[in-house]
């Protein structure tokens, strides 16, 4: 779930039966129209990446912390953090393509946000790090278009959220589960 937690702040919350609810709050890259982690999620769904942020989160990895219940003491929090780092390190060792997929997810999430912004404002300048369309192979260009089309649908929903509300998904499906 991507949850608006403040006027210019959001959290990314992942939940599964094995690891419970975990969050990244605040999550990186807040934007009024499309949060960065939402672009990551769509990139990873569209390309079937299992070694990116959300594929790793589904296996218990990532930088997500347990959702605070207010009862966890500092020692328990440190223990969980240590176990989380160990789990993430194991995932990196066993997932030979994971680091490549994580990098690809990061690059394409950034590109999708740039292309989405330029679709709505053609005068917006492309950052120097963003690949020109000519540098993308046909399959990546097609995926980028599909993701940007999804962002067109989701951006108004994100903009309309009140603080405390969110948009939920079920990994690895790109369609929202919340109405």
| Max intra-chain CA distance, the chain | 53
What's the pLDDT at 147?
Answer: 97
pLDDT of residue 51: 87
Collect all residues with Cβ–Cβ distance below 8 Å to 157 and sequence separation of at least 6.
167, 176
pLDDT at 120: 92
Q: What is the pLDDT of residue 82?
A: 76
pLDDT for the residue 17: 87
Rounded to the nearest 10 degrees, what angle do helices 98-120 and 36-47 cross at? 120
**Under a CB-based contact definition with an 8 Å cutoff, are residues 172 and 54 in contact?**
yes
Please, what are the averages of pLDDT over each run of 10 residues along the chain (179 residues)? Answer: 97 91 93 95 95 89 79 67 70 60 88 92 80 75 95 97 97 90
Domain boundaries, the chain: 2-162
């Amino acid at each position: 779930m991507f949850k608006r937690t403040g006027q210019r702040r959001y959290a990314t919350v992942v939940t599964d039966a094995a690891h419970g609810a975990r969050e990244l709050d605040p999550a990186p890259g807040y934007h009024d129209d499309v949060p960065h982690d939402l672009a990551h999620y769509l990139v990873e769904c569209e390309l079937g990446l299992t070694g990116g942020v959300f594929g790793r989160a589904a296996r218990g990895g990532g930088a997500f912390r347990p959702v605070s219940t207010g009862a966890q003491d500092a020692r328990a929090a440190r223990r969980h953090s240590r176990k989380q780092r160990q789990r993430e390190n194991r995932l990196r060792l066993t997932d030979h393509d994971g680091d490549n997929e994580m990098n690809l997810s990061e690059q394409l999430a950034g590109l999708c946000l740039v292309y989405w912004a330029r679709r709505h404002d053609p005068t917006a300048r492309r950052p120097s790090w963003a690949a020109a369309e000519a540098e993308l192979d046909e399959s990546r260009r097609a995926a980028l278009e599909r993701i940007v089309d999804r962002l067109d649908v989701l951006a108004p929903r994100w903009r309309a959220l009140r603080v405390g509300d969110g948009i939920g998904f079920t990994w690895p499906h790109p369609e929202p589960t919340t109405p």
